[in-house]
Structure formats: C-alpha cells, structure tokens
Amino acid sequence: MTIAPLSGGLGVRTRLIDDPGRLIDLLPDDQNPLSWVRGSDGLVGWGEVARFTGTGPQRFTEADAWWQSFTRRLRVTDDVQVPGTGPVAFASFTFADSSAGSTLVVPRVLVGRRDGLSWVTEFGDGPPAVRAVSPVRPTGTLRFADGMLPVAGYRTAVAEAVRRMRAGELEKACLAHDLLAVGDEPFDPRFLLGGLAERYPTCWSYAVDRLVGATPELLVRRTAGVVESRVLAGTIWPGSGDNLSGQLLGSAKDRHEHALAVDSLADALRPLCSTLDVPEQPGVIALHNVSHLSSDVRGTLDPADPASLLELAEAVHPTAAVGGTPRKAALRLITELEGMDRGRYAGPVGWVDSSGDGELGIALRCAQLDGPVARLFAGCGIVADSDPHKEAREAAAKMVAVRDALQAGN
C-alpha cells in the first residue's frame, strides 16, 4: 500500500459556477485526466492533491480507511451541498485481489454538474489552478496486434469452460480477452474519452490513471442511505436477425445468465440492507453496438450501520456479471484459462465523496493507455449452453465501442 503525503489543514472549497458546457471539453492537456460523465452530468478533474494505491483482498477496506482519514483532516467549505461536492476522489480498482494498481486519486480541481447545478471544487488557498489548454490530438494511423490472449486462444478457453460446466464444476464464468492497438505517437486520453461519450451518452464515460472507457453497468451507487445497482448480463448485437429485444428476452440461455448475475448481487447486498427491491423480470437496454438484459436493483441500507460506498464495493465485487458463480470456482477458472492479468478491466471505477456516497461502475468497454499502445478488453458470460464461436463474435461486437472511438476520423 502506498499513500501520498498530505500537509495538515489543507483547505478545499466548492462553489457554484455558470454552466461550463460539455464537461469533457474542460479537461486540459494532461496525461491523467479524470472523468465520470453520463450525458450532460457528471464530474471531471485534473491535477493531483493526494493518492492511495493498494493491492490484495483488503484493498477496499484500506482505501476506505485512508479516504476517511484524509477527509477528516481537511478544512472544507461547501456552498453547494449535493452529492459530488466537497472533497471527491476518483476510484479505480483491479478485478483480481492479486493485481497491482487499485487507486484513489484526489484531483486538484474538479468541475461537476447535476440536475442543472454546476460547481467547481478546488484545493488550496491560492489562486485558481491554470489549465494547460491545447487541442485534442487525434489518434492517427493504428495497427492492431494480438494481446496476451488472442481470439483463437479465447475460443479454446470458452470451449474448456463449457466442458467443465457441463461436467457440473460450476454454473457460469466470465472470460475475457485483449487486443493491442498501436499508434505512431502517444495517445491523447481525451480523444478516446470524448469519442466514447459522444457515441454512448447513456453510458458512464470514465478515465482514471489512463484507463479510459464507457460502461453501461452500474455496480453500486450510494446516496443518503439508498443503494442502487444496474445489472447487465445477456447480450445480442446487430446482425443477429430482427426483433433483437424479443430474441434476447426469449433466450433461455441469456435469461439464465442474467438471473445468476442478479442473484449474486442481491445475495451480497441483502445482509447490508433493511429493504431490497429486486425486479422479477429484466428489461432490455439498447446501445449503439449491442443490447443487454438489464435489471435495476434498489435497497435501503441498514440505518444502524450504513455501509459506505467502498464497503459496498467490497461486498459485491465481483458479481456474477463479470466473475461467475460459484464465485470462488469461477475466479479460479478465469485465472487458469485466461492466463493474463486483467488489471483494472472489469473492476469498480467511479468516484466517492466525503460522506461515503458516490457511484462505481464496472470498467467495461475500455482501454488501458500506455504511450502509443492501447490495450483493449472484452468479455462474455459463459454458461453450459455457450458456443465458443458465438462468444468470440459477441466479444468482438463489444470491442467495437473502443475500436471505433480510437479510429474516428481515420
């Protein structure tokens, strides 16, 4: 665990501002822009006041303890008093306990908008931070190369997972593979972020430590004692025939996969809630490249001991939507068959404020940027009825989101 030092008595102030326009357009030429934006609302930040990094099964607990300690030492002036004002940290956690890179980043400047209100939060007592404004750099020419698990290896992994499920070893596992996009110059994270936000306005467009993506799946939101989650599992994509929603709702395989994901989330949340509303039937959410079965779960936290956002994340991650069921068997299978470190792909990503409220999505439809190399990820929920070739096509359809955004204008 690494914690950046903090001087005592640091001041932070939130004040109302006029509508700043599209939030993502405010981001300066910074190699580590911070974003959590959906439509016109959300948060963006730049600069860095403090940082937590951790690894291991206690990373959520340690991050939560650090964040509480950090915020208690601040002199806070909050003229707005809505979720996302006052001190805020952007969060991104690894999928696996053993992976390094889980982090909280506290921005020097944050700009937010919610329900018609716009605000800026700034640390320090000096003049406002100056942004280094420069045009967004397009990607340019790209070359694609196999990642740690090529498509052929992915099909083999899916086939082996199906064999084990039919033998009764487990019910579901979510397997992923990666793809490398290589440019001639280092990527500008703002180009990918802006392209995803434009194409997928109903998703949460995020950027933390150069992990950039747009996720349709909300792992957990905490607001004043209420917890919410949007579970997605079961997928269809254009080219699969007519009436995609009807096909998806009528698919026994997809309905079973979805039910496993909803049940795993509900089972994890129920001990922390006094009430929990779980829909009996899923709906369908349609995106530009795919459609998913979707269920919105809502609960009231135990008022005697309400869990913080990061405590909720520790309880529910990974759900069967990105891990599998039974959880331990699925995680062992993922480690064995993928043979790669997912890093922060499929881990919780979002923001947390000083009251323990905030939003964490699941880091899907994303790329990890490293200079001129972008590592793209996509995965699918595998059950006993899965077909390896169809699952590879589904993963390719999901990867279209990032590929198109990277190649825009080329």
pLDDT for the residue numbered 311: 98
Return the percentage of the chain with pLDDT > 90, whole number. Answer: 84
pLDDT for the residue numbered 367: 98
Q: Is the pLDDT of residue 108 over 50?
A: yes
Catalytic residue set: 172, 217
Which ranges of 219-295 would DSSP assign to H, the alpha helix? 244-249, 252-269
pLDDT for the residue numbered 125: 58
Output the pTM of the full model.
Answer: 0.94
Is the distance from CB of 160 to CB of 339 less than 8 angstroms?
Answer: no
- The predicted-structure confidence for 266-298, as pLDDT tens digits, reads as follows 999 999 999 999 999 999 998 887 899 999 999
Kindly report the average pLDDT of the chain as a whole number: 92
pLDDT for the residue numbered 401: 92
- The predicted-structure confidence for 27-38, as pLDDT tens digits, reads as follows 998 779 999 999
For the chain, the first-to-last Cα distance in angstroms comes to 42
24 vs 38: CA distance, rounded Å: 10
Torsion of CA 163, 256, 229, 277, to 10 degrees: -140
- The predicted-structure confidence for 296-346, as pLDDT tens digits, reads as follows 999 999 999 999 999 999 999 999 989 999 999 999 999 999 999 999 999
**For residue 326, is the peptide bond before it cis, meaning its omega torsion is within 30 degrees of 0?**
yes
pLDDT for the residue numbered 156: 98
Mean pLDDT throughout 62-83?
96
In the chain, the domains with their CATH numbers are 2-407 (3.60.120.10)
